[in-house]
Structures are given as structure tokens and as C-alpha cells.
Amino acid sequence: MIFGNPQPYALTLDKFLTHAAKWHGAREVVTGSAPARTSYAALHDRSNRLSGALFALGLGQGDHLATLAWNTQAHMSCWYAAMGAGIVCHTLNPRLTAGHLAKMIGRAQGRVLAVSGGLAPLVQELIDQCPAIEHVVLMDDGAPDDPVPVVNGARLWHLDDLIARHGAPAVWGAFDENTPAGLCFTSGTTGDPKGVTYTHRSNYLHTAHLLQADVMGLGSGDTMLVAVPMFHANGWGFPFAAPAVGAKLVLPGRDQDGASLARLIAAEKVSVAAGVATVWLGLVDHLDAVGGELPSLKRLLLGGSAVPQALMDRLEQRLGVIVQTSWGMTELSPLGAMTPASATDRISARSGRPPMGVDLLLTDEHGVALPDQRGGEGRLHVRGGSVVERYFGEADKATDADGWFDTGDLATIDADGQLSITGRAKDLIKSGGEWINPAEIEAIVGGLPDVAFAAVVGRAHAKWGERPILIVEPRAGREVSDETLLAALRGRIANWWLPDAIVRRAAMPLALTGKIDKMRLRAEYG
């Protein structure tokens, strides 16, 4: 019997930009810092010709193109040029040191580096430490005379000149959907960084996760601002999701201060914006200082660390937007859960439900599933088609025998299926043989109107092993007393959880992802 079957149609990422070029060709991709604008049709043609130029530089399927760049249309061209041709796009964080970046490039055996303008000193250091780099491509969003000294045989190209000389049409997607598409390292600051490889299939499925109605629910009528760096887990997948539905895409470039974002949102009539909370805190601080409204803006998608309820309320009230909180990790591509725009009960501690295609499991400290997955706190595990199975270059799997990846997060799932991250297992403080969860203290203190940021770390103690220290950054122009802070905690946590000391900082140290830098705080106060 011949049953018949559907067409073999590989889930490759080039199809998103090809779709946008064919059906939404006139919709724009705008770079704020240049400024520059193009259409999906023009971006498709330019990216496709750039694929031919990358071939001319000696790259082929399975090779890595390293990008050291901000959110720009030139960076997006490099993404699709590489991925469409089967080349792996290895995104690098310009805020890391040359030493950390060199280690990542070396592990990926990168030979071609594409960079944004204004990074000449860092590029010089990288070339010195990466003799295998043969070509440096300066993206056209930088100043044309931006000097990048070339040493160790590496040749410098300006992107326009490279395309003019070697650009040629290329066949896209002529490979299996399980072909690697992207590489992102989770951290370069503690020990050896861990690389996460994304395949075309995994990122295609992740895009489908994002576009579900109760997740991002983006449409062709939206204008989306991506303030999430494209070097952080592929910009959370938004540079794939926007062309997939034909939404106008706005990329801010390097400038993400409150004034720059306010101008860009107003000028381009942005309706949906995504980024970490600190970015939007800068935006509302700017608006409070100079006045003004952003009537086009309807939704903010927040990721990174947990958002204090007071900040969430402030964003919604000052901007008149719906705030959607989320949880994710580089290893998840990165979406794990998101609150829907339709939610009526908005609680900042909630991260929402997982999209179809992602599954969650709570276990005890030994990895045994909790008998009741609702209500109790456990260690969070996840699996799905966009979840890492093994790290780049590692022989051993990062998952257990049943395919579950241990996130290292502690979490609860309520009766309605809403996920709440309650802390990191490694952040727990053991005092007198009992555990203190810093996240619970931080949530209470961070919700006070006079507090901008709050963090709790453990400090060594001769008798108890560790004791909690509270570090706060007051809001600009505000003061908050020790008694006010402690009064907010009394009756809401056990008395023995109360911090032994309170430290104030003018500015809380932030890690490269925009989260509070707990490692630095432990080094200073632990």
C-alpha cells in the first residue's frame, strides 16, 4: 500500500528571510545608530550575494564565521549570509576581554571575523592573539575610515568592497536541517566558557515557539525593537521571528541609552520591544526627567533576571504598556517560558508557561521527580527540540538518560501551570546547616519604592558557616534606612534569614547580560 507523504521541506533558517523578501519585501529593517534603513527584499539580495563573498574567502559548510558586532542590519546580513550557506555564525560579545574572545575563537577554529565599526583596539588585540584569523570584515555600519591595523597576515575588508569584488548569488538551504547554524558561548568569565550549538532545525522550532499567540504573538502589522544583543542567544531569536511574519524590525546599534531609545521608538513607531529590565529602567528615567510619551509602544518583553514588582508596575504605568516577563537560558535557544499578553493577574515573579514544544520537570536535589509537580519547590529541568543535548566540543551529554537538562534553577509551578523561578541552586546560602534563599529576600527588598536594585550574597562566618549580606542601590535621589529595609522583611521571612549587614552602593555592578554581577559581589563582600 502506498500511503503517500508530504514533501521533504528542510527547516532551514534562510526560509525566514526568503519568505519576508517575497511576501513582505517592502517592510523595513532599520538601524538606529547609523542611521540606515533597508527592505527585506534588499536585505535578502545583499545577504545572498554576501554568501558568495564568504565562499570566496574560503569558508564552506561547517566552517565558522565569527561576528563581533552590535544590533545592525549589517550584522543581520552576515547572519543570513552565513547561515543560508551552511556556515556557522559564531556570535561574540564585544564587552568581553580579548583573552576570553580569543579562547572562544580558537575553540571554534575561526578564520574570518566580521566586526562593527568602533572596535579597532579590541580587534587589534584579537588579531594578535588569534593568528589563525585570515580575514577581518569591517561592517558598513562603522565609519569608513575606522582604522583597524592588520597584522599576522590577516587582511582587512570593508563589507561593501567585499561584496562588490566577490559577491555572487548563492544557493541557500542545500543541506540537512540538522546542520549547525549558530554558536554562542554562555560565559567567558568563569573557567572555560561553554559553547551551545544551534542547528537550523532547533532555531526554526524555537521561532515557532516564539510566534505562538500566548508567547510573543508577533504579526506583520507590528514594529519590533530588538534591544536584546544579537550576541546573546541569537538575540532571543527575534531576528528570525520578525521576518518570519513580515514585522518591521528596528535594531538600535550600539546606542541603548534612554534618550536614544526614546527617539528611536517615537520615530519608527515601535509597538513591541524586547530587552532586559535595566534597558527599560533607563528609558523611563529619561522620560521622567525630560517628559514625553511613547503612544505607539504597546508591549515590553522582559528577560534576564527577575523583575521587581515595583519596576514592573512603573514600566506599565509610565509607558502604558503590557509587560510580558519570561525565563530562558542560552542552552534553551533561549525561551523556556513567557507570560501571555492576555494575562490579567500580572505578578513579576511569574515567568509564565512554557510554549508548545518545551517541557518542564521539577526534581529533588538528587534528580528524582517530585511526586506532585504543582506547588512544591524543586530543581528545574527542561527538554525539547530547541534545548541543548551536549555542549560544543564535549563528548558527554549535558542531559540525563531521559533527555532532561538540569538548568540549575530552583522553581515552583502553581496550580495554573505558571512557572516562578525562586533562585539559583548555586546562590543558596547555608547557615547553621539550613538553607537561605537569597531570591526571596531580593524580591521583597527590590519591590520597595526607594530601591532600584537589591542583591543578597553569603559571607563566611566562623560559627554559622555563612550569613546573608544585603546590598542595595537606592533609586536616584532617594534614601532608604536600614530599619525600613529590615521592617519590610520581618514577618515575611524567618528571623534567622535576616541579613547580618546592609551595604549601599551608588551603582550595582551588572554582568554582561544585564543581570546583577553576583560573582563580583561575592568577591567583594563574601
Write out the catalytic residue numbers.
Answer: 186, 331, 430, 435
Of 206, 273, 204, 221, nearest to 24 (Cα)? 221
Q: And the C-alpha cell for 93? A: 560579545
Distance set, CA 457 to CA 263, 438, 524 (Å) = 38, 7, 10
Of 248, 243, 249, nearest to 211 (Cα)? 243
Tell me the three-class secondary structure of 136-197, residue by residue.
Answer: EEECCCCCCCCCCCCCCCCEEEEHHHHHHHHCCCCCCCCCCCCCEEEEEECCCCCCCCCEEE
Distance, CA of 245 to CA of 213 (rounded, Å): 13
Phi, psi of 12 (to 5 degrees): -110, 150
Q: Phi/psi zone of residue 391: left (φ > 0), alpha (ψ -120 to 50 degrees), beta? A: beta
Of 205, 55, 74, nearest to 140 (Cα)? 74
- Find the length of the chain: 526
Of 309, 344, 43, 340, nearest to 210 (Cα)? 340
Distance, CA of 44 to CA of 182 (rounded, Å): 19
Give yes or no for a contact between 186 and 392, defined as CB atoms under 8 angstroms apart.
no
Of 3, 175, 143, nearest to 74 (Cα)? 143
- Burial bucket for residue 105 (CB in 10 Å: 0-12, 13-18, 19+): buried
3-state secondary structure of 38: strand
Distance set, CA 458 to CA 378, 404, 468, 489 (Å) = 21, 30, 5, 17
Distance, CA of 446 to CA of 436 (rounded, Å): 17
The CA-CA-CA angle for residues 53, 58, 60, to 5°, reads 90
CB atoms within 10 A of CB 178: 12
User: Which residue is listed with cell 542590519?
Assistant: 73
Phi, psi of 261 (to 5 degrees): -65, -40
Of 450, 451, 436, nearest to 499 (Cα)? 436
3-state secondary structure of 305: coil
Strands 248-251 and 223-226: parallel
Distance, CA of 317 to CA of 323 (rounded, Å): 10
